Amino acid sequence: MTTILVVEDEPEIRRFLRSTLGAEGYRVVEAPNARRGSVDAGTHKPDLAIVDLALPDYDGRELIRDIRKWSSMPIVVLSARHQERTKIEALDAGADDYITKPFGVGELLARVRAALRHAARSPAGQALVLGSAKVDLEKRRAWRDGAEVHLTPIEFRLLAFLAKHLGMVVTHRQLLAEVWGPPYVEQTHYLRIYMKQLRDKLEADALRPRHFLTESGVGYRLVADEEP
Amino acid sequence: MTTILVVEDEPEIRRFLRSTLGAEGYRVVEAPNARRGSVDAGTHKPDLAIVDLALPDYDGRELIRDIRKWSSMPIVVLSARHQERTKIEALDAGADDYITKPFGVGELLARVRAALRHAARSPAGQALVLGSAKVDLEKRRAWRDGAEVHLTPIEFRLLAFLAKHLGMVVTHRQLLAEVWGPPYVEQTHYLRIYMKQLRDKLEADALRPRHFLTESGVGYRLVADEEP
DNA sequence: AATGCGCGTAAAGACGCCGTAAAGAAATGG
DNA sequence: CCATTTCTTTACGGCGTCTTTACGCGCATT
């Protein structure tokens, strides 16, 4: 049975999460603050954690760093509209995705499913299908409409990192640090240039990307097939 | 059976509410002051509370905050004409709607029905129908007369929050705090600008809005179909 | 009759983020 | 050495937001 830890202080939202996730067959463990969340993450060994960033005792980002010291469980962050900066820091701290309040049931479940799928996916990336394009991460080869497409080293590393976090948000910082190296975490312009190249090579319509999605002010997200 | 708690000190109004609501088949529990109201809210677990703002012992707003600590039951406020300010504070404290004295039977029952409907609505917002317009809150897409309409992020957040409180009043403060963030709770002008955009995009006749209703001096109210 | 307030409407400039394009210099690898 | 790739810069345009200014209207107060 899949267990989800919910760390949230507002009773209303907690109730909503409990009923929504419960109805989907997940077991829900609730913690009203960060301290309890930290303990419950250790004792209940949940398959996924949903963490509100604004907690009464200490910061959700701290909690995420705490958990990341010993676990790689998927973490989905709940953030309010105005916490743009905090949200990004939470992602940099190791969160996998975020949901902005107010959110709908569909969005919540989609994100949860994506995160669980991501965690369960075998480490072998295998073949990645993006509409009419296909990528073999092992063989470092890509095709579009049957014809092979050549990817340069940077393009490939960028794609590989996005694919490693398939469906999850990856911040500008993370991408730049990973693909170009830590000194380049501010060169967001490089990202725009190379994202365009990937889109040109792999998207059916580069003007309306369906797989290489922009998360404005945050980063990018690679979506394979049939995901919101 | 649906139970309604009435917190009201004036015996005449109490009698009126009792008979009106009773005739509609509601069970009515009466409390003459805030303290009793607080207790009865806990013991009788009503499905809805009607609270007069001017109570002999302590303030109706206090009572609302009290109840909101543990319950999300719909709360409808009774206010006199000159209590504009108090009324808004009551809404900010967590009330869902208000009725201004003197009020008629029709208005009372309409508000009560709307509040109960709102509380019973499944958390899945799904499709929202506003006359000739349609909004899919999950997919973040909107249509009008069949054609898709593009909503900007702020427009969408504004709409989503109104939809979350469908049929209920939402104060300027609540909207601004939620959509723009707490530092913006005074910028009511932003609301006017973006409400107009939503009306332009989704109302059939933006000059005579039938869904995005203004509650003058208070806030706004989103009404789907077939509501007063 | 005058004033003020809340609201709707319009418009305009500044700014940030993103996408797009291009081009020369530097590095890399066969 | 030559071709490719990357690095780095410059520039433009679009979109959305932020913020301000201004005008008209209806309503209530004075």
Query: B56 with B94, same domain?
Result: yes
A152 CA: nearest nucleotide by C1': D5
Report the CATH number at residue B210: 1.10.10.10
A206 CA: nearest nucleotide by C1': C19
Query: A132 with A96, same domain?
Result: no
**Domain boundary residue among A120, A147, A167?**
A120
In a domain, B228, yes or no: no
In a domain, B89, yes or no: yes
Q: What is the pLDDT of residue A83?
A: 80
Residues A90/A64, Cβ–Cβ less than 8 Å: yes
List the domain range (segments joined by +) for residue B41: 3-120
Q: What is the pLDDT of residue A228?
A: 47
Query: A54 with A11, same domain?
Result: yes
Query: A41 with A112, same domain?
Result: yes
Using a 10 angstrom Cβ sphere, with 0-12 exposed, 13-18 middle and 19 or more buried, the burial of residue B225 is: exposed
Q: pLDDT of A99-124, one tens digit each?
A: 987 787 888 999 999 999 988 775 55
Q: pLDDT of B98-157, one tens digit each?
A: 999 888 999 999 999 999 998 877 555 567 899 999 999 878 889 999 999 999 999 999
The Cα angle at residue A156 between residues A150 and A161, in degrees rounded to 5? 155
Query: A156 with A182, same domain?
Result: yes
> Structure tokens of B53?
């703002």
Footprint of strand C on the protein (CB under 7 A): A 172, 188-189, 192-193, 195-196, 199, 206-207, 214-218; B 172, 188-189, 191-193, 195-196, 199, 206-207, 214-218
Could you tell me where the DSSP H helices lie in chain B?
Answer: 11-23, 34-44, 60-68, 84-93, 105-120, 153-164, 172-179, 188-202
Q: pLDDT of B184-197, one tens digit each?
A: 999 999 999 999 99
Chain B, window 52-81: residues with a beta carbon less than 8 angstroms from a chain A beta carbon: 70, 72
- Within A 146-205, residues with CB less than 7 Å from strand D: 150, 152-155, 180, 184, 187, 189-190, 193
In a domain, B227, yes or no: no
Q: What is the pLDDT of residue A127?
A: 77
What is the number of structural domains in chain B? Answer: 2
The answer to whether B160 contacts chain A (CB < 8 Å) is yes
Q: What is the pLDDT of residue A201?
A: 93
In the numeric block, the tokens 């690679």 are attached to A222
Query: B100 with B9, same domain?
Result: yes
Query: A8 with A104, same domain?
Result: yes
Report the CATH number at residue B59: 3.40.50.2300
Using a 10 angstrom Cβ sphere, with 0-12 exposed, 13-18 middle and 19 or more buried, the burial of residue B60 is: buried
Q: What is the pLDDT of residue A168?
A: 93
Query: A190 with A99, same domain?
Result: no
Q: What is the pLDDT of residue A207?
A: 85
Query: A111 with A143, same domain?
Result: no
Q: Are strands B48-52 and B27-31 parallel, antiparallel or unpaired?
A: unpaired
Question: In angstroms, what CA-CA distances link A160 with A104, A178, A205, B58?
Answer: 31, 10, 21, 63
Handedness of CA A5, A11, A17, A19 (dihedral sign): positive
Q: What is the pLDDT of residue A227?
A: 52
Query: B45 with B150, same domain?
Result: no
